[in-house]
């Protein structure tokens, strides 16, 4: 699989797959320890993770996002945390329940300091997530009832997504706009999704 590295900031990095779905994975670095989020494995990924610090764990945020979580946790010899809701020992993160439906269970990772929000599917920047002009979009299936209560309580400096590169500047305003305008921008988002699919 071909990937490109992205979302590089003081607290971590990401990599996005060169495909229509634009699956994006992340490694967050806290106190020299690396936490890997929803990873897609590819050439160079393990080297970048190990180069960033001591691997500490692999975290899966979406029930159907198995990706390469288990295999990478095994290779790195670290715990595999699937849809955590309670704090993980020695990790600086909180977890927010985004959805708990029969076919869709998702938690978001919130790192209060430095203000990083990681969402698996609820938010994204890939073309089929956003209306034209949007920097961040709500998942097409959630636009009719966006997770305002769940995600609206945080004020992120950075939003990292499971599909598409993250928002590394003015992320708080991008999140508020995405949540508040999700429903009325449904037609524009659908039009952009069709354009994206034709490329």
Between 24-28, 88-92, 187-191, 195-199, the lowest mean confidence (pLDDT) is in 195-199
Contact 72, 39 (CB under 8 A): yes
**Is the pTM here over 0.75, yes or no?**
yes
Closest CA to 111 of 10, 4, 5: 10
pLDDT number for residue 118: 98
pLDDT number for residue 80: 98
Could you read off the pLDDT of 7-65 as tens digits, one per residue? 999 999 999 999 989 999 999 999 999 999 999 999 999 999 999 999 999 999 999 88
Identify the domain containing residue 110 by its residue range.
Answer: 3-198
Q: Is the dihedral of CA 51, 77, 45, 47 positive or negative?
A: positive
Could you read off the pLDDT of 64-78 as tens digits, one per residue? 889 999 999 999 999
CATH number at residue 127: 3.60.15.10
pLDDT number for residue 196: 72
Could you read off the pLDDT of 90-141 as tens digits, one per residue? 999 999 999 999 999 999 999 999 999 999 999 999 999 999 889 999 999 9
Count of domains for the chain: 1
Closest CA to 120 of 144, 145, 147: 147
């Amino acid at each position: 699989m071909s990937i490109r590295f992205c979302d590089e900031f003081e607290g971590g990095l990401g990599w996005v797959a060169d495909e229509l779905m634009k699956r994006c994975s992340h490694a967050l670095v806290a106190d020299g320890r690396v936490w890997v989020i929803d990873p897609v494995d590819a050439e160079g990924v393990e080297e970048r993770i190990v180069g960033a610090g001591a691997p500490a764990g692999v975290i899966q945020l979406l029930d159907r996002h198995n990706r390469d979580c288990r295999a990478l946790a095994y290779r790195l010899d670290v715990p595999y945390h699937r849809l955590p809701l309670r704090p993980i020992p020695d990790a600086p993160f909180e977890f927010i329940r985004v959805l708990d439906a029969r076919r869709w269970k998702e938690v978001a990772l919130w790192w209060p300091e430095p203000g990083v929000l990681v969402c698996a599917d609820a938010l994204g920047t890939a073309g089929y997530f956003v209306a034209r002009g949007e920097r961040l979009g709500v998942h097409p299936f959630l636009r009719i009832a966006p997770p305002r209560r769940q995600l609206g309580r945080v004020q992120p400096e950075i939003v990292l997504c499971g599909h598409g590169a993250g928002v590394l500047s003015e992320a708080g305003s991008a999140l508020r706009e995405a949540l508040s305008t999700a429903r009325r921008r449904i037609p524009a988002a659908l039009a952009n999704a069709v354009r994206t699919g034709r490329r």
